[in-house]
Amino acid sequence: MDPRSSERESSGYVALVRGNRNFKYLWYGQIVSLFGDWFNLIASATLVASLTGSGLAVGGLFVVRMLAPFLISPLAGVAADRYNRKKLLILTDVVRAVVVLGFLLVRSAELLWFLYALTAIQLAMHGVFYPTRNAIMPDLVSSRELGTANAITGTTWSVMLAMGAAAGGLVAGGWGVYPAFIIDSATFLLSAYFITRIRYEPERRDAHDKSLRAALHDYVEGLRYLAHNLTTLAVALHKASLTLFVVGAFEVIQVTLARDFFVIGEGGGISLGILYAVIGVGSGVGPLAARYFTGDRERPLQIAIFLSYVAMGIGLAIISTLASFGTVLIGTLIRAMGGGTLWIFSTQLLLQKLPEQIRGRVFSTEYAFLTLAMATGAGLSGWALDQATTVIPDILRLMSFLILVPGLLWGGFLAKTLFRRTD
């Protein structure tokens, strides 16, 4: 039965997972896949740092991780809107399961290029998976369930970050990095199995015109949609602001903090896992607490996004003191609560507004924005850290001010629209 054909009586978290078979298996796949992803990220960053000792090399890893999905995004969005979304999800999982096993061959700094190449393929497949998963979710749940489904999906990312990063840090710090890559491969296969259990019959069939020209035409149509819907474009840029001014740089900085300042475990693997775990807790708790007050109402969601920018600025200012590892963790928690709320609520606003036929292209364009922004932030911070690790407090203080810029712009936009309504 098509889950969109009727409204369920309850849209509670437990009721959704128990009552909607399709969402349940999509969620199961997300759980195991994300668990492996964080194993892979911790292991990759630790491996690069151990082999090279270079902040620029670690920054390069995150640049590759972000540029690969950026480059694939035009075709990814078109594919998500043209072809069977379930089959795309399975295909990307299987390809990634094979690719990550290649990380086992990287044993010296001379093979760092191979790690980068494998990372590019892995994250290019993620660049297809991410917009496709977002695009398929409204196909599997009713409109009343959509907010709950998005909250579960976002919180699961956070919980698995906390659990996967902590476990990955323990494995990398205690046993070395290579077992993490094997675990990651197995999780992709398990995710693919769960997705095969979804009963999904798309309303449209594969496109008749499969030429590159037709694909590019479809992608341009998605860009035109955003150009004519400026509010949607503004919402789609929130994650790019977050990744440019905060996440991209902090991904690199926290590796240095774990390796050189607060070292726990081999190469700081355990302390890095703890940092990621705190980010997971904060980005999960933040949106759940905020949603208690906002529900799925558009205006409260918009205001909560503005407050999220303020929280991130405060958190980064606390981290910049580097007073102790505990202080850094408190600041990281506050920063993550703001970032998680912004991430989930901006996704919710798009899910509620986007027409089904354009959904994949808008989400892929949003992902292109955020990946390019994150690559820029990671690259610049990696370069700065190679000049001197003593600049970390200065970088963090600068980030705490810069993140307020898009926040103030968004606040001005909200005030302008409010005055329009009261005229």
Q: Taking a C-beta distance cutoff of 8 angstroms, is the pair 274, 327 a contact?
A: no
SS3 141: coil
pTM of the model: 0.73
pLDDT band at 336 (very low <50, low <70, confident <90, very high): very high
Residue whose structure tokens are 């959509």 = 146
Kindly list the distances between the CA atom of residue 131 and the CA atoms of 72, 185, 231, 274, in Å, as whole numbers in the listed order.
11, 21, 20, 29
Q: Is it the case that residue 32 has pLDDT exceeding 50?
A: yes
Query: In terms of residues, how long is the chain?
Result: 423
Q: What tokens does 307 get?
A: 């407050």
Which CATH code of 1.20.1250.20, 3.40.50.720, 3.90.1150.10, 1.10.1740.10 fits the domain covering 18-200+229-422? 1.20.1250.20
Q: Taking a C-beta distance cutoff of 8 angstroms, is the pair 164, 271 a contact?
A: no
Amino acid identity of residue 416, one-letter, is: K
**Which burial class, exposed, middle or buried, applies to 14 when counting CB atoms under 10 A from its CB (0-12, 13-18, 19+)?**
exposed
**Residue 157 to residue 288: CA distance in whole angstroms:** 13
Q: What is the mean pLDDT of residues 81-107?
A: 89
Residues 6 or more apart whose Cβ sits within 8 Å of residue 373: 240, 241, 243, 244, 248
Distance from the first to the final alpha carbon of the chain: 46
**Residue 5 to residue 22: CA distance in whole angstroms:** 14
pLDDT band at 209 (very low <50, low <70, confident <90, very high): low
Q: Taking a C-beta distance cutoff of 8 angstroms, is the pair 367, 84 a contact?
A: no
Q: What's the CA angle centered on 115, arms 110 and 117, to 5 degrees? A: 110
Highest mean pLDDT among 4-8, 10-14, 65-69, 346-350: 346-350
**Percent of the chain scoring above 70 in pLDDT:** 88
Q: What tokens does 203 get?
A: 């309303």
**Percent of the chain scoring above 90 in pLDDT:** 24
Where are the domains positioned within the chain? 18-200+229-422
**Residue 102 to residue 99: CA distance in whole angstroms:** 6
Q: Taking a C-beta distance cutoff of 8 angstroms, is the pair 167, 36 a contact?
A: no
Give the model confidence (pLDDT) of 217-268 as tens digits. Answer: 777 777 888 888 888 889 999 999 998 898 888 878 888 888 778 877 766 7
Q: Taking a C-beta distance cutoff of 8 angstroms, is the pair 96, 180 a contact?
A: no
Residue whose structure tokens are 């009963």 = 199
Residue whose structure tokens are 């290029």 = 113
**For residue 411, how many other CB atoms are within 10 A of its CB?**
18
